[in-house]
Amino acid sequence: MVATGIPLHTTPPPAQPNEILREFEDALKAGDLVKGIDLATRLDEEVQLSSKASLVSDATQRIDETLAWLPPDIESLFVLQDPVVVDSRNLQVNFSALPARFYALDRLVALDEGRFLQQLDGRTIQLTIAAMKNARTRGEGAQVPALMPDGDAAYFYYYFSSPIEAGVLRTSDQKADAHPIWECTAQIDAGDRWTPGMSSRPMREDHTWLALPRPDLLVAASTRSALLALLAGIESKEPPEPHRALPATLPEWRLADHRAPFWGFRHFSQLGDRRDLTNPQCLADGSSPDPLLRGLAVRFDVDTGTVETQFVHAGALPPSALAHGNGIDYKAEKDVDGTRRLRSNIRERGPFPFHLALSLLGFGGYR
């Protein structure tokens, strides 16, 4: 398991639905409709809790195997455990009320002007995992909402409600061993400087490579070579390498809430000659480096709209994070153990706090 030996956020075990069902049947036989209604409500709640607990348990296993396939220099990860029914017509709209889905699915929505996604209509994606490394800021400066960085990204879409055979998708013109590969294009923001007189943002063509290594798993990568490496790892019968992506010893795992509908974390890498304005080591554009900031974790409750960012930091909250805090969009807090965090709610503040959290994770909107 990914989190072996690492404390997790836990909740009390749910009641046994079978016991409540027996009480419900007894109440109906006795003609006690008031008690029956109350028990029916409790039964629905417990079934929902059991379903979510089962999904989280399965998701933990899938995250574990995904990290074994990813390269060891992966820097950032996010997980969406909120099921999504694919509807290409409705998913084309702005996800301002559902920002977690926007970041998880925006790349699929954009491919081949939406035609790729149409092939998956009606199926449910139960779990989405995204990973990033070598992030490079696209455009002239740091923005919120941010553009997707020019980095190496990979997406894993798990648990389709019905198996996807290769024949469901359009004919591919490439193969990796026995796996067909689809190369899709999208028009995305070129990141060029805005100049007076422009009627619209300059766009450029971008490519994504996809494969179906299993009927319940669709994998997408920003480069063909990255996809081929992932497929090799998935097909390998050898035990995973000991130096996997994001090892369980990282302090960010302690802050990750694996039960949240959406969660993620980032362990900052060495920049080298990259320009990544979301990395505290970056000296570009007059930003101040913060060598004490090691990483961060994000959790988002889809039901309540609460978004929280916690920092692995040796000092005060990083100034770059507080630029949008101070009670304006976030409330800055400090736990008794010294953990610093920013907390907000998109129902009260709009989607901006979530966009900022994802920007700090190193992700952005694909288009």
**Structure tokens given for 130:** 């995204």
Q: How far apart are CA 367 and CA 365, in angstroms?
A: 6
CB 220 within 8 A of CB 108: yes
71 SS3 class: coil
pLDDT at 144: 79
Q: What angle do CA 142, 145, 150 make, to 5 degrees?
A: 60
pLDDT at 92: 59
pLDDT at 95: 64
pLDDT at 288: 59
Q: How far apart are CA 102 and CA 366, in angstroms?
A: 9
Helices (H), 111-236: 115-118, 224-235
Helices (H), 163-273: 224-235, 252-255
232 SS3 class: helix
**Structure tokens given for 263:** 């969660």
Q: What is the pTM of this model?
A: 0.81
Domain parsing of the chain, residue ranges:
17-56, 58-235, 250-361
DSSP states of 146-210: PBPPSSEEEEEEE--SS---GGGSPPPSEEETTEEEEEEEEEEE--PPP-TT-SS--EEEEEEEE
Phi/psi of residue 149, nearest 5 degrees: -70, 155
- Say whether pLDDT at 3 is over 50: no
pLDDT in tens, 111-164: 999 899 999 988 899 999 999 998 888 766 667 788 888 889 999 999 776 777
Q: Given pLDDT bands bounded at 50, 70 and 90, which one contains residue 5?
A: very low
Q: What angle do CA 140, 284, 133 make, to 5 degrees?
A: 80
pLDDT in tens, 19-73: 766 776 777 777 777 776 776 776 666 655 555 555 556 788 899 999 999 999 9
- Neighbouring C-beta atoms of residue 41, cutoff 10 Å: 11
CA distances (Å), origin 11, targets 14, 257, 303: 9, 11, 16
- Say whether pLDDT at 252 is over 90: yes
pLDDT in tens, 263-318: 999 999 888 778 887 887 776 555 556 667 789 999 999 889 999 999 887 665 55
Q: What is the mean pLDDT of residues 326-338?
A: 70
pLDDT in tens, 210-237: 999 988 899 999 999 999 999 998 988 7
Identify the CA nearest to 2 among candidates 230, 234, 246, 195: 246
Burial class (CB in 10 A: 0-12, 13-18, 19+), 270: exposed
